[in-house]
Amino acid sequence: MNISPMKNAWRHVFQERTCPPHAVLTDPGQAANVAEHRKSCPVCAMMKETKVDYELWKEFGKQLVAEWPAPGSPDVGSGQVWSLRRCKGGWDAGFRHINPPLVLVLEVFGDVDGIRVAQVFDEGLLAHEGDVELGHGLGLAESWNTYALDRNDLDLCFGQVDASTLEAVKAAGSGSVPELDEFPTIWHFRQLELEVGSFMAMDAMGRLMERHERNAVREEFADVGAVRAKVLAFDSRIRLGKAENGLEMVATAELPEELMLKAAAGEEGLCPFTVVSVGGTTNRCHGALAELLELDHRDTVIRVTGRIPEEYSEGLLFAWWRRSDVGLEEGMARFEPSEGIFSASFPGKSELDFELGEPVLLLVQIDDAHD
């Protein structure tokens, strides 16, 4: 079959972006998805009679490793071209296996540990207005296809472009969208690239938004005096100790009996936590109980998993490990409101820390409807 060079380039990109890699093809657990993919994939239909010599490809890979500069993992900065972690790939609703592309880092957002990137491709025949050649064999940047990622999504760095090239990509992205009516192959290519970018960005969006919200909450609780005033304005009987920040002060507050669930007094399998509302003229507080599903210590890490009652369907969870002789040390907390499941981890903890300590949980809810 004779096809034009441009359509052949489009076929290569389509295969690279949407066909499962060898590791997925040979995974028994993925067999059902692979079978569904092969039913509808035009590239796989064309290649189903072609036998692939994987040993030959391994040798080719070794040759590339020997001849191509080894990628690294430097501190992330603008102008670098990175691959994304393999776990970013996966099946979409149409049984296409969306594979992670290379990306050019445009900006770094230190406050949420995020980055803005432009997607990269290497088929020059598909280049059009808005695509910028990066040089050094790094491909072309799609100034029309940029999105935010978690910095932890990056895997290996393959090179760095100069400042003028980076600025050219940013400038091209601010221009008007070109008409592609006369270039149907490029239109289809760009639609696919936008879908791949959306797939990559969607996975990171939740984490970036949560970090932004956490930063906003920390800022809200930074002024200990202001937080103390708002809590006592809600109920002057609440006893607030000294703390480095308002979050710790509220998490360890002693609440009057009617604001605290009576079962909180050491009942096995339950973990008391404090709920605080922010956004109004007072910070309303009360106690609640979480069901403990797991509390253990392995490899110097204390892990806590539990279930929060259904009435707390929204909120940001903060967690500390407390020893009476040491004080509070904050850990990493995650809360999935749709499932009600939370987890917290505290690294660098000894067996003695585990025996003498306890988790302290604070659920922050943004609610200004009561003031």
* 218 occurs within a structural domain: no
Amino acid at 155: D
State residue 42's pLDDT score. 83
Q: In this structure, are 113 and 252 located in the same domain?
A: no
Mean pLDDT of 48-61: 64
State residue 153's pLDDT score. 97
Residue 343 three-state SS: strand
Q: In this structure, are 351 and 255 located in the same domain?
A: yes
Q: In this structure, are 101 and 149 located in the same domain?
A: yes
Taking only the tens place, the pLDDT of each residue in 241-275 is 999 899 999 999 999 988 876 444 456 688 999 99
What Cα–Cα distance (Å) separates residue 45 from each residue in 11, 15, 52? 12, 11, 14
pLDDT over 90 at 174, yes or no: no
> What's the mean per-residue pLDDT of the chain?
90
* 219 occurs within a structural domain: no
CATH number of 292's domain: 2.60.40
Percent of the chain with pLDDT over 90: 74
Q: In whole angstroms, give the CA distance from residue 361 to residue 295.
A: 14
Q: Residue 181: pLDDT band by 50, 70, 90 thresholds?
A: confident
Taking only the tens place, the pLDDT of each residue in 307-359 is 999 988 889 999 999 999 999 999 999 998 888 999 999 999 999 999 999 99
Is the pLDDT higher at 3 or at 6?
A: 6
Q: In this structure, are 66 and 201 located in the same domain?
A: yes
pLDDT over 80 at 65, yes or no: no
Q: In whole angstroms, give the CA distance from residue 143 to residue 162.
A: 16
Question: Pick from 279, 282, 348, 267: which is nearest to 316 by CA?
Answer: 279
Q: In this structure, are 136 and 252 located in the same domain?
A: no
Q: In this structure, are 284 and 178 located in the same domain?
A: no
pLDDT over 80 at 55, yes or no: no
Number of domains in the chain: 2
pTM of the model: 0.81
State residue 371's pLDDT score. 45
Residue 96 CB neighbour total at 10 angstroms: 21
Q: In this structure, are 263 and 117 located in the same domain?
A: no
State residue 53's pLDDT score. 64
Give the residue numbers spanning the domain of 353. Answer: 224-366
Span of 27-36, 53-62, 133-142, 176-185 with lowest mean pLDDT: 53-62
Q: In this structure, are 202 and 257 located in the same domain?
A: no
Q: In this structure, are 193 and 165 located in the same domain?
A: yes
Taking only the tens place, the pLDDT of each residue in 147-157 is 999 999 999 99
Q: In whole angstroms, give the CA distance from residue 351 to residue 252.
A: 23
> Among 211, 246, 273, where does a domain finish?
211
Q: In whole angstroms, give the CA distance from residue 289 to residue 305.
A: 13
Q: In this structure, are 21 and 153 located in the same domain?
A: yes
